[in-house]
Structure 1
Amino acid sequence: MARPQKRFTQLIEEIDRTPWGPAEQALVAEAVALAVELGDEQLEYEARMRQTASANMNGATDVMLNSFAWCLARHDADPQRFPADLEYGGADLMWQFKWMASSLRSSPAFSLDQIAAVLDDMEEHYRAAGLGISGVLTARFEDAWDAGRIDEAEALRVQLEATPRDDHSHCDACGRSQVAGFFAETDRDAEAIRLVEEMLEGGFSCGEEPEHALSRVLVPYLRAGRPDDAKSAHLRSYRLAKDNPDNLRIVANNIVFSALTGNEARALAQIERHIGWLAHDGLNVDAHFAALAAFAFALDRVTAAGHAHTPVRGADSPALIVFFEDHEGPWGAADLAAAAWASAERIGAEFDHRDGTDGHARALVRLRALADESYDVPIRSDAFVSSPDSTTPADADAWFDRVMDLAQFGAEHETLQALPHALAVEDPSKLAQLMSMRLGILIALDRADEAAELLPARIDALRAAGLDVQADLEQRLGLATFGLDTPEAAAALEDELATAASLPAWSRGDLAISRASLHMHADEPGAALDMAEIAARAFAEAGDVRLSNTTTLVAIAAVLQKGDIEAAAALLDRFLDQDDLSIGHRAQALQTRARVRGGSEAFVEGAADADEATRLLAGLGATKALAAAHLLAGALWEDAGDPEKAVTRYRVTSRLVAQEGGDQAGADFRLARAMLAAGDAEVAAELFGQVLESEEQAEVHAASRAMTASLLARALAASGEFGQAVGAFGYAAELFGEAEEHADQAVALTERAKILARFDENDEAIETLEAASEIVRKAPDAVGALADVLHNLGQAYGARQDDRAFALFDEVAALAQEHGAGWLLADVTDSRGRALAQFGRTEEAVAAALTAADGFAAIGDAGSAGGSELFAARLLAGDDRAADAVPIYRSALEHAAEVPPLRQVSALELGTVLESLGRHVEAAEVRALLDA
């Protein structure tokens, strides 16, 4: 282990290169503890200066205040040993001063005198150090604004605007964001938007910017009639803010936006995701006020949308009792809204009492006034799920019917939940059936001990129903007729079947179907079919339609297990044509046929079956089963090439899984993937980010996380967030490398390089492609990846006049010829032509481009053929061979018939070339094509 002094140096270096967050906080805490252990105050000063900054960024206000006070005392006592600026790239002591007054103001526990003393102390230190007063004015402006002294804040803003900026002024991002927020609050929407857009255009960013600034102009954008800009701002702001509890106020602004724009389900999901943040920083009470008010406003909208009793997950946490008081049972939306308003009003009153103003009361009035505003800005990340059990059974007999349907579908958990409501039936035969269902489900759920305890009650129910023979049979067999899968149970069933001729028909059928089920578990579909046939004859003789249909479904499952898809499909079609099917049996058969059709690539028909199954299940209250049914429907619509319909189904799946438990990350991954395919990249990026976070917490396999990170990167790139996309592709490559998925790793690096090249980061792009080319050769069977990586590297070399390009083009061309990839061969030939042009080898370049055009045309890609020809024509025209270029331009025009942009460019350039040749009539004719 490193010596303590060396370890401290290592810690400081690691802190300074680690992003803000839990890992960085842990390193800082270790550094402080080590310095204290060493008894070295100078080292402790180094560590605590970093601790103040870390605590500020991570929302640990108490740690920040204590750390700052310790450092300031040391600095004041000996500024030589403890300088204000350690020059480590983080905030210096005078800069940190700006956080102190803001932190004190954020809790009504601190008095006005304490806040004023900090502000005066700050100004005294600034003047003593010869610093400009811009930072002091900023702190005083924030204080006046937050306290509700608006006139004073406006005067300070004007003074601040006229004061020269210095090294301790707010950065460009924070300064614009702060004033934009003030403008928005004082009804100067246009000025607020202008400042934020200036910030974005200038590329200014900081610790919580641009996400805070974007959240401040959401409502101004809406009022300005710019819903698309508002949506983009919201999605970007929320995506950047959602992982740090210190961003509670930013998240609050985004929740209000969701509620205000008809996205009540999204608002509810955001509340559930972030309500626990209220307990994160006990001193940031002003953020609690903003969040509680936002929650209340949004939950009022949820209530107005018809979901007053929808549970708000997480609201019943013991840590939140201080905000909502104790509550019996889960909080519904309407009740929690009232509690949140009351808590916000209480906190606001405490602030206003301290400040001697009505600033917080006015903030609540402004927020409540938004109840009169509404905007239609659809965001499809979340959906409400109306209670599927829309009609509650009226009595025990109606509950019996419900239980039967649920059991016949196979909804085990929902059947167990509904069973107690049906046990009051008076008909003993119905009670016996209910007991049978219960025993079978307990066995299926591996709860055989519970089933054994209930078996005597089943036998008693049979005797009460006058079914003594069946009672005697089950007394002999124990749990064998309920699916117990043991050698002893199978043997007992065989023995009884051998002497079953004297038994009633129903009992013979029960024995046969029980044995068929065990054959299915043992992967013996032929034997299962034989038993199902015996059972079918027996149940037909007994006149039991329900169990006859159950037997048919078992037979269909056996046929599928044998792999005879065609026969199974025919059986399903005939079965579903029957008019005596229960809802449960019909839903089960539809879901089975949906899977069969999906496996046969009849995706649309399969999706229609799955949709009908979800409709039937919704009426049964089968919530867990309903989630799986929507997932199946979504998958089939996705396979059918209709991501829009897939999104609709996956949204419901996600919400049901959230309510009932299950693979939330899996459901959201599918939803995000469908959204990306449907062109909704910004929301997809948000969801992929959530899935990746969940996978990181669950420590799932690196390959799975890599796939999520890769799709996140694609969504970010499609959203125009290229900087984040570069990082995400890099992270995906790391994870693919960890999983030794070399082809995927190389592809991720290639996509990263493409973005880098787009922004002229050519050196890094080529380095990345070179690394990818080395990696992809470890997976020679991944021909597509190998060709893509080598092709891109060749193009990059060609653009730099590096003749290594041609060997790579040769290799890609050989792969294309070997695997019959005509389009790839044409494409790499086109790339060869463009590289040759970079070397000034015009004749060869033209020949390659025309060869590529022929290749594209041969496989029906007229647009690409025209593109290659246009390139060749330009080379000739630029080489003073205008006459030779004309026929190639004309061919490009013909190929561009269905590609308007290419047609327009080709016509314009051909017209110019013809004019240069003095062929004015032809030039006019060509230009006339532009108006056609």
Structure 2
Amino acid sequence: MTTAPQTTDELYQALQENDRRPYGRTRTVTAEELVDAAEQFAEPVPLIHALLELQEAYTYGSEPRKSPVVFARLLTLFDEQPDVFDERLRHMLFWRFKWVANALRALPEIPLASLRQWLKEMRDRYEKAGLGLQPYYGQAYQLAAHVGEDTTLAYELWAGRTRTRFSDCEACEICERALYHLTAGDDERALRAWEPVLAGKESCQEEPARSVSYALLPLLRTGRTDRARELHLAGYRGCRRNPSMSQEVGRHLEFCALTGNEARGLELLSENRNLFDEVDSPLDLLGFLTGVEVLLQRVELLGHGELPTVGYAGRTWTVAGLRAEVRGRADDLAARFDARNGTTAHTDRRKARLDRAPLLDALELTLRTRSLDEVVPAAPVAAPAPRTAAAVPDSLPELILKARMLEEQGHPDAKACWARLRTLVTARDYTHPDDPAVGPLVQLRADLLADEASRAGEKDEFAEAADLHEEAAALYDAVGEPGHAALARACALLATAEAPVQDADGAEAKAAALTAAHENMVRLHDETPGLTPAQEARLLRLRATALGLRLQASRSEEHVAPVFAEVDLLLAFATRHDVVGQISGGLLLRVSTYALSGDLPAAVTEIDALLDRLKAHGPAWHLPRTLGLRGRLQLGLRDAQAAHADLTEGLRLAADWPADAVDTARLHGDLAEACMHLGRPDEALRHLTRSAELELRRGSRTDAFCAYSNAAQLSLDLGRVEDCIALLDSLLAEPDVVAGELDDRLVAQLRLTRARALHAGEDLKAATAEFVALAAESAGWDDDPGSHAMIAAETAVLLGESGEFGRAREAADQALAAHAQAPRYEQLSNCLRELARLQTQQQGPDGLADALAFLADAGRIADEARAAEYEAHGRSLDTALAYEHGRVNAFAGEYEDALAALEKALALLGEPGREDDRAGEWAECVRLASAVEGIYLERPAPALTRLDAAISHLTALGHSEETEPLTSLAARLRDEE
């Protein structure tokens, strides 16, 4: 709070503003300051309001020690000046007796006798005020349950009584009844009791999040795993990071531990690290720490006790270290409660939770399923492990010779051999074989550099690849291996040409670089003596590849023939010398060249012949990649079914080879596209997430996050809102994202999708906050004003939905300013029309002037779009604008203006035809015009004439569904005549 309120009006305004803040330290500190400010006024009522706000902040900010103190002041004020408490304030006061009872239970230092005395005080006060005692008996039951006494009688005395207006809300009482049955071991009866809350029919401040957290394990025990998964995603979001719901967070961690989702549990624990230090309620802390211990215990039992994790501030933690710390603290808390209560209830409950065995081996909770091995992001593995131990010879000379032989063939197993050799050579005790067949150590070092360079090139680290190839070439020269040196230099030339070009015309510059690389390769080829057939075939392949990449960069027709000519040279030479791998590579280049030149049928013919050859002559490891290319060609020919078959077979065959021998991430990504074309979005989603996981494992984080972004958008499109939010929450919590190391626009896209998902999930407050933040950030995107216009427009609409039309106007003005630089006609028009509708719908006639100002801006955008010959993807902007004028004026009670605008919209639309997809829009416009005319202007006759004509027209065209609302309105008008 910047300045203290100087008047009671300012105080009340500050209280309202604070009430909109989330619970936590900021809200609590402000509430404390407002109490201090209220005490300066000579009036008790402002102080009462400030104290009520402060008690609420303490209660929902998990500070139970302070809540009773504030309530004592309120009770004193009530006793001294009962007349200043109006009906509303009196109701709030008596309601909060229960808050104090809850707070006292949560503090083990408060004697049990004091708790009982408070309940007696509550009963006496209620009886004196003539209030029903059901709320008192509810608190008496909760105390009995807390202590661990026999609750049968206490439950009947509470549950058997009629509810009063001071009873806990229906959702909270449902939860207590369900917990009674759950404690008795009756899962089914508990879940039946919970159903209205779990189904969203009853809710409150803490519900359904509280009930959901308790219902997760009963749902699993009764076989309702899908429901448990669904409620975990939605329920966790309702309690995360919230100190007053730390017990609920603990139960979600426990759920993860018991369903094979230990890695997700650690992820959620990290997200809730604030709870270790912000929970001031001993009872809440006990529940949270027990859930944490269940998770950590499970992780340690699985052999991952040394994994780093988050915990109390001030030191670093491993799973084992934090578990020991948590166990000590939670045991102490349980013992303190049991000592206060004179039972062993809390120790027994803790033990029962910790002794519980996993309920499922694995339940897929999120779209991003990870194992404990993947919790800590590791550097990309230098090389894959071999498929079998036999793939790598034990004898060092044999290993070196085999690695070179496999490398010459292009065999995937070469990488495993090089990986083993790299480990051996870097060891201190390495002794190089004195074997002429093996050659000197310098030659082996050159081989390893060449392999390292190839791996760098596969990751698009072209500059590093070029340097490594050049270094390898120098070593090959030193040992008299000119052929290998020439190959290394040719690879360096290609890597240099492939490096990204920072040029205004990047494609042209890259084509020029590849032309130069090819010319230098040809010269290198001509000047290198003593090339073996395998070396020469590979040089020819590199030459052809350079020209193929040039065609890919330029898409110039003049660059097609040179590729074919170079491929023909390669194929002729490789066939003459029976270099099988290069024959296959050359044929694959021919296929790609046909595809790049736009001749997909010829490409398919060529690749069919190549597949036949590969099946007959090999190499077999080329089959998955070739099938992948054929699948992409089939997608280009719009044969999704054939594409799906090829890509699926490619994935199946890829499993026969080392993990990085085939770009399986690409295969999964292409399969996702095929599935979308086939109308199988759920399958597409699985392939997208699998593609992202594979990209992540090989260190391609940007590609992985792009794939995850697509998966998030698809899950949102499918209505899987909670899946979308959970996936994005997981991604946005990644260390490199938090540290700002990932591309900021990609992160912004993830956040934008999350904000839209929050909106779709009806979390308007969180969605609006995210959109406002994104709008502020995107305002600085000078290179992309169009995106800022879009984000600011969406932000304006959300602010309008929240009734904040002043801020909505500011956001809309930002969008309009950005639109002036990069037009977004349809998006801005949609935004402005929606704001106009929202303002009059919420404010009626009082909002008409501002709404018409929004529509005036939309009108200018429609004029600009018309001048620019822009065609909207949906209905025309002019028609939409006329229709909105009709709605806005109708909401504001200006019915003549509304009717005139709607008739203009009908004229612009024109009557629909038989195949016209505008029939629904036209029918709705007719309906609204007829309602305005017949009901509000009380002219039913012309309205019925309009309706009957429209019904006849639509019926004749076969648009029977569109006639239903018109028929219903016509019947109503006739009934009222």
When the two structures are superposed, what TM-score results if normalisation uses the length of structure 2?
Answer: 0.65
The within-5 A match list for 1:701-716 is 709-710=755-756, 713=759
CA distance in 2, matches of 1:477, 1:201: 66
Q: 1:142 to 1:613 in 2, by over 3 A?
A: farther
Matched AA of 2:638: E
> Are 1:468 and 2:481 matched, yes or no?
yes
Q: Residues 707, 44 of structure 1: CA spacing in aligned structure 2 closer, same or farther, 3 A cutoff?
A: same
SS at match of 1:206: coil
Q: Distance in 2 between matches of 1:78 and 1:844?
A: 66
Q: Which amino acid aligns with 2:245?
A: N
Q: Map 1:661-810; keep pairs closer than 5 Å.
A: 662=701, 666-668=706-708, 670-671=710-711, 673-675=713-715, 683=723, 709-710=755-756, 713=759, 730=798, 743-744=826-827, 777=859, 778=861, 780=865, 781-782=871-872, 784-785=874-875, 786=877, 802=895, 804-805=898-899, 807-808=901-902, 810=904
Q: Residues of 2 paired with 1:624 and 1:754: CA distance?
A: 54
Question: What does residue 493 of structure 1 align with?
Answer: 521
1:250 maps to: 248
1:363 aligns with 2:366: no
**Structure 1 residues 795, 454: CA separation in 2 closer, same or farther (over 3 Å shift)?**
closer
Secondary structure at the aligned position of 2:461 is classed as coil
Q: Secondary structure at the match of 2:638?
A: coil
Residue type of the alignment partner of 2:639: A
Contact 1:587 1:616 in 2 (8 A): yes
Question: Residue type matched to 2:16 in 1?
Answer: D
Name the SS of the counterpart of 1:241 in structure 2: coil
* Corresponding residue of 1:446: 461
The one-letter code matched in structure 2 to 1:57 is Y
- Contact 1:241–1:251 at 8 Å: present in 2 too? yes
Cα distance in structure 2, aligned partners of 1:623 and 1:81: 83
C-alpha displacement of 1:316: 2.0
The alpha-carbon deviation at position 53 of structure 1 amounts to: 3.7
Q: CA RMSD in A?
A: 6.5
Q: Which amino acid aligns with 2:607?
A: L
* 8 Å Cα contact 1:15/1:27 also seen in 2: no
In the TM superposition, 1:592-631 aligns within 5 A as: 592-618=629-655, 620-622=658-660, 625-631=663-669
Compare 283-292 and 747-756 and name the one that shifted more. Answer: 747-756
Cα distance in structure 2, aligned partners of 1:387 and 1:408? 34
- SS of the residue 2:581 aligns to: helix
Q: Distance in 1 between the 2:847 and 2:411 partners?
A: 57
Aligned residues with identical type, % of pairs: 18
CA 685–507 in structure 1, closer or farther in 2 if over 3 Å, else same: closer
Match in the other structure for 2:779: none
Structure 1: stretches of 5+ with no match in the other structure? 881-932
SS of aligned partner of 1:645? helix
CA deviation string 1:671-696 (max 9, x = no partner)? 45545666766656766787899999
Deviations 1:269-299 (A, max 9, x none): 3553345425523445655654566577789
Which residue matches 1:393?
388
Q: Which of 912, 916, 922 is matched with 1:822 structurally?
A: 916
Q: Cα gap change, 1:556/1:214 in structure 2, threshold over 3 Å: closer, same or farther?
A: same
C-alpha distance in 1, partners of 2:72/2:968? 71
Do the aligned residues in 1 keep the contact of 2:309 with 2:317 (CA within 8 Å)? no
601, 607, 610: which one aligns with 1:572: 607
- Alpha carbons of 1:408 and 1:246: their partners in 2 closer, same or farther (altered >3 Å)? farther
Q: What is the deviation of 1:620? A: 2.5
Give 1:612 deviation, angstroms.
3.2
CA distance in 2, matches of 1:520, 1:511: 14
Distance 1:555-1:640 versus aligned 2 partners, 3 A rule: same
Q: What amino acid is the match of 1:280?
A: L
TM-score, with structure 1 as normaliser: 0.68
- Give 2:179's aligned residue: 181
Query: Could you list the per-position Cα deviations for residues 692-734 of structure 1 after superposition, in whole angstroms to 9, with x for gaps in the alignment?
Result: 99999978688876665556655669xxx9xxxx999836987
Counterpart position of 2:145: 145
Shift of 1:468: 2.0
40-49 or 630-639, which deviates more: 40-49
SS at 1:470's partner residue?
A: helix
Tell me the equivalent position of 2:680. 642
Where does residue 60 of structure 2 map in the other structure?
57
State the shift of 1:828 in Å: 1.2
Matching residue's letter, 1:237: G
Residue 421 of structure 1 is matched in structure 2 by 420
Number of residue pairs the alignment of both structures matches = 841
* Worse overlay, 483-492 or 274-283: 483-492
User: Is 2:104–2:110's contact at 8 Å kept on the other side of the alignment?
Assistant: no
Structure 1 residues 338 and 34: alpha-carbon distance in aligned structure 2, compared to 1, 3 A threshold:
closer
Query: Partner of 2:781 in structure 1?
Result: none
Q: For 1:85-234, what aligned pairs fall within 5 Å after superposition?
A: 102=102, 111-113=108-110, 117=114, 141-147=141-147, 149-151=148-150, 153-158=151-156, 160=158, 170-187=168-185, 192-193=190-191, 196-197=194-195, 204-218=202-216
**Matched-pair contact (CA < 8 Å) for 1:268–1:299:** no
Partner of 1:480: 493
Which of 956, 959, 964 lines up with 1:854 in the alignment?
956
Q: Deviations over 1:154-179 (max 9, x none)?
A: 55555556889888754444344334
1:19–1:737 distance in 2 versus 1, CA, 3 Å? farther
Q: 1:849 to 1:54 in 2, by over 3 A?
A: same
- Asked whether the equivalents of residues 119 and 140 of structure 2 are also in contact (C-alpha less than 8 Å), the reply is no
- In structure 2, the CA distance between the partners of 1:54 and 1:632, relative to structure 1 (3 Å rule), is farther
Q: Distance in 2 between matches of 1:587 and 1:105?
A: 65
The whole-number CA distance in structure 1 between the counterparts of 2:329 and 2:410 is: 46
> Structure 1 69/177 Cα, relative in aligned 2: closer, same or farther at 3 Å?
closer
* Matching residue of 1:889: none
CA contact (8 A) 1:12 1:31 kept: no
| Partner AA of 1:784 in structure 2 | G
Please tell me whether the aligned partners of residues 55 and 71 of structure 2 are also in contact (alpha carbons under 8 angstroms). no
Distance apart, 1:849 and its partner CA = 0.7
Equivalent positions of 1:175-574 (< 5 A) are 175-187=173-185, 192-193=190-191, 196-197=194-195, 204-218=202-216, 236-242=234-240, 244=242, 246-253=244-251, 264=260, 269=264, 272-274=267-269, 276-277=271-272, 280-282=275-277, 283=280, 286-287=283-284, 290=287, 316-319=308-311, 326=318, 352=338, 355-363=341-349, 367=353, 381=367, 383=369, 392-395=387-390, 397=392, 419-421=418-420, 423=422, 428=438, 435-443=449-457, 445-446=460-461, 448=463, 452=467, 456=471, 460=475, 468-473=481-486, 479-480=492-493, 483=496, 492-493=520-521, 495-497=523-525, 499=527, 503-519=531-547, 523=553, 526=559, 527=562, 530-574=565-609
Change (3 A) 1:556 1:752: farther
Verify the 8 A CA contact 1:650 1:670 in the aligned structure 2. yes
Report the secondary structure of 1:784's partner residue. coil
Structure 1 240/626 Cα, relative in aligned 2: closer, same or farther at 3 Å? farther
After superposition, the Cα gap between the structure-2 partners of 1:752 and 1:685, relative to the gap in structure 1 and judged at 3 Å, is farther
* Distance in 2 of aligned mates of 1:648 and 1:670: 11
Distance 2:11 2:952 in 1: 61
**What letter corresponds to residue 420 of structure 1 in structure 2?**
A
Structure 2 CA distance for partners of 1:559 and 1:30, relative to 1, 3 Å:
farther
The alpha carbon displacement at 1:782 in A equals: 1.9
